[in-house]
Chains A and B, each alone.
Chain A
Amino acid sequence: MISSVVRTVLVYLAVVVAMRLMGKRQLGELQPAELVTTLLISNVASICIDEPDLPLSASLVPIFLITALEILNSTLVWFCPRYAQLLLGKPVTIIRNGEILQKELARLRITAADLAEALRGRNIFSPQEVYWGVVEPNGSITTAVMPAGDEDTPLLPLLIDRTVYRDNLAFFGLDETALDRMLETQNTSRRDVLLLLYNGEKTVLIPKKTAPEGTV
């Protein structure tokens, strides 16, 4: 009995240290790879509590190995946007200017009831109130509501860290050539842009490695 108490305390401490090392990303809404890591850690942590016959190292070594791999993997994701897109996926637009993109809903296997429920969770009772709705890579639905009166139209991303949002470009009647021209007028290129937002009139451009103040 004492042995299982000691084991539980040690595994608990190891998991807390591991989660702390992985950082706050692991504590918020999980991306697919992070969910896998969290599930694996919980399984590996439980084996040596469930089976007192197994040595403690059978849990501790894999916990810290998974932690190290997760940290290195998230760094690779940070450095390489293509790898990030491959691993995490990309947000998918499902509502555009009040209109539900039913083809995308079918592709994501989201039912109309799921969508209505998610919108109600944001106090939105009709898709026509939504200017732009996306399903994020972690499965949550994010919405930008229609501007009221003389409010500005919400800004949509055209470029985030070398990832081009082609459907948003198409929505504004632009293509990649037009995007590059837009960047040229700002004396920059795709490689140097962290975030480019656009609403048809206004552009917010945040270059890489500078203070996060957009040039409007």
Chain B
Amino acid sequence: MKRNWYAVAILLVLTLLLAEAGRYVEHTTGILQNRIEAAYALAVQGDYPAARQTYEQAAAQARKGGWVLSLLVRRNLLDQLNQTLAVLPPCAEADSLADLEMETQRARTQISQLRQSFFGGL
């Protein structure tokens, strides 16, 4: 009957790990989303240096959480988001606002795809 306790322990550990992983994905993608929204708002207001800095912080945040996220979500989604985040800071200029809007929208969609990769249709 010792095996039953192993089974219960496995189920408990899996439940805890999944709950923790879900919280991590939600938290990390939430921070990314907030940073991108804040950076875009700064760019629209004309504060381009601050916008560039916030986009860079978002990219650094994505790189920091990348290793754990790669254990939980599809790797190509993560790579695509990193590529988008890399092109966002140079777009925070007065004459590239249309590109900035398009790339920001792309990043939003990629973040939501990251969430979907973990949570599915939930």
In the complex the two chains form, what is the Cα distance from A65 to B104 in whole Å?
39
What distance in Å separates the Cβ of A15 from its nearest Cβ neighbour in chain B?
Answer: 14
Would you call A64 and B3 a contact (CB within 8 A)?
no
Would you call B72 and A68 a contact (CB within 8 A)?
no
- For residue B70, CB closer than 8 A to chain A, the reply is yes
Contact with A along B68-100 (1 / 0, CB 8 A): 001111111000000000000000000000000
In the complex the two chains form, what is the Cα distance from A57 to B68 in whole Å?
11
Question: In chain B between 1 and 55, which residues have their CB closer than 8 angstroms to a CB of chain A?
Answer: 1, 3-4, 6-8, 10-11, 13-14, 17-18, 21
Chain B interface helix/strand/loop/mixed: helix
Would you call A72 and B4 a contact (CB within 8 A)?
yes
Question: Please, how many residues of chain A have a CB less than 8 angstroms from a CB on the other chain?
Answer: 17
In the complex the two chains form, what is the Cα distance from A56 to B71 in whole Å?
6
Would you call A57 and B71 a contact (CB within 8 A)?
yes
Would you call A67 and B18 a contact (CB within 8 A)?
no
Task: Decide: A67 near B71, CB < 8 A? Known: A57-B21, A61-B14.
Answer: no
Would you call A57 and B11 a contact (CB within 8 A)?
no
Would you call A55 and B4 a contact (CB within 8 A)?
no
Question: In chain A between 47 and 78, which residues have their CB closer than 8 angstroms to a CB of chain B?
Answer: 52-57, 61, 64-65, 67-69, 71-72, 75
- For residue A40, CB closer than 8 A to chain B, the reply is no
Would you call A71 and B14 a contact (CB within 8 A)?
no
- For residue A21, CB closer than 8 A to chain B, the reply is yes
The one of A21, A53, A56, A65 in contact with B14, judged by C-beta atoms closer than 8 angstroms, is A65
Task: Decide: A75 near B4, CB < 8 A? Known: A57-B71, A64-B10.
Answer: yes
Would you call B14 and A55 a contact (CB within 8 A)?
no
Contact with B along A26-63 (1 / 0, CB 8 A): 00000000000000000000000000111111000100
In the complex the two chains form, what is the Cα distance from A103 to B21 in whole Å?
56
Q: Chain B interface (Cβ within 8 Å of chain A)?
A: 1, 3-4, 6-8, 10-11, 13-14, 17-18, 21, 70-76
8 A–B pairs (Cβ distance < 8 Å), ordered by A: A21-B7, A54-B74, A56-B71, A61-B17, A65-B10, A65-B11, A71-B3, A75-B3
